[in-house]
């Protein structure tokens, strides 16, 4: 029996293409996946912090997860360590850190007081994130790299986290106005994620190229502003980026209509 099994194994190995055998024993790239794991850990830790009513820490954890998620892709491209495994792992980590974690944190922080409406809004956010990621994964080679279709899930999570951090800092958690605002932000972010609104991706930003001296000064000023009042400045940044999508889409559609009118007149 062992002899027969050995012969079968040898025959299967001989019939397997060399590329497939190499892929079977191939390892994974450590560096980019290390950042992805850090992003996953930060998202999970955010949920644990929210369960223990540490909502400001939970919000900070989501923002850290967002930063690490932005780094892993850049590192993979700069070091030429992109892989199918890394892409799948990154997508699954995004679902936890930017889909499930923000929904649970915002539910524990504010939406739980709204009863059924609260957990349905949190579920809508989670489902929208899953749909957003699924659409992104299936349209990677078909869409314009310069723009995202729909609000990116890390930016949506950052907006929700910034609202929570802002509300926790100024003790607005029990405010009825803040509860309603949180509900609107959660549902709005969910709908924007699955919309056709276009958002600038910043993927054409070359980290290895030369930049004007003023650009470095602008980066320094951003760090200074964020360090002065992180919760407020980050909320402004995420809110501005969220609103930039509808404005950009409206301007592009307007230009397209004007171009069509000029063509018809000609």
Please calculate the CA angle 65-146-220 and round it to the nearest 5 degrees: 55
- Interatomic CA distance for residues 121 and 107, integer angstroms: 9
Per-residue pLDDT reduced to its tens digit, 130-151: 999 999 888 766 666 788 899 9
Q: What are the helix (H) ranges across the chain?
A: 2-15, 18-24, 30-51, 55-78, 84-95, 101-109, 116-138, 153-169, 176-193, 213-228, 230-265
> CA–CA separation, 98 vs 70, rounded Å?
12
pLDDT in tens, 196-213: 999 988 876 666 667 677
CATH superfamily, region 30-265: CDP-alcohol phosphotransferase transmembrane (TM) domain (1.20.120.1760)
Distances (CA, A) of 136 to 139, 140, 194, 211: 5, 6, 10, 30
How many angstroms separate the CA atoms of 140 and 33, rounded?
20
Q: Which of 129, 135, 137, 134 is nearest to 154 (CA)?
A: 129
Q: In the chain, what are the domain boundaries?
A: 30-265
pTM of structure: 0.83
- Token readout for 239 is 């809110």
Q: Which residue did the predictor score with more confidence, 41 or 8?
A: 41
The string of pLDDT tens digits covering residues 49-96 is 999 999 999 999 999 999 999 888 888 878 888 888 888 999 999 999
141, 224 Cβ separation under 8 angstroms? no
Distance CA(193)–CA(191), nearest Å, equals 5
Q: pLDDT digit string (tens) for 231-254?
A: 999 999 999 999 999 999 999 888
**What mean pLDDT comes out for the span 5-33?**
56
User: Residues of the chain with pLDDT > 70: what percent?
Assistant: 85
pLDDT above 70 (res 44): yes
| Beta-bridge partner residues of 149 | 198
């Amino acid at each position: 029996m062992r002899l027969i099994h050995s012969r079968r194994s040898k025959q299967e190995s001989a019939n397997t293409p060399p590329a497939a055998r190499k892929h079977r024993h191939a390892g994974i790239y450590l560096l980019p996946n290390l950042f992805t794991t850090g992003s996953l850990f930060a998202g999970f830790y955010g949920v644990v912090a929210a369960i223990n009513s540490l909502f400001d820490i939970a919000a900070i954890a989501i923002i850290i997860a967002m930063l690490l998620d932005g780094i892993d892709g850049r590192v993979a491209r700069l070091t030429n360590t992109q892989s199918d495994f890394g892409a799948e792992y990154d997508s699954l980590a995004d679902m936890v850190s930017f889909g499930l974690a923000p929904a649970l944190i915002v539910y524990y922080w504010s939406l739980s007081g709204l009863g059924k409406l609260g957990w349905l809004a949190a579920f809508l956010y989670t489902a929208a994130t899953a749909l957003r990621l699924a659409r992104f994964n299936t349209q990677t080679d078909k869409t314009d790299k310069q723009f995202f279709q729909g609000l990116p899930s890390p930016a949506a999570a950052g907006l929700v986290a910034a609202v929570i951090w802002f509300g926790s800092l100024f003790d607005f958690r029990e405010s009825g106005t803040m509860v309603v605002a949180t509900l609107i932000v959660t549902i709005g972010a969910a709908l924007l994620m699955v919309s056709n609104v276009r958002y600038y991706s910043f993927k054409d930003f070359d980290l290895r190229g030369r930049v004007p001296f003023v650009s470095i000064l602008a980066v320094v000023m951003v760090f200074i502003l964020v360090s002065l009042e992180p919760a407020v400045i980050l909320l402004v940044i995420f809110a501005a980026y969220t609103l930039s999508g509808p404005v950009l889409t409206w301007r592009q559609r307007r230009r397209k209509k004007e171009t069509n009118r000029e063509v018809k007149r000609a």
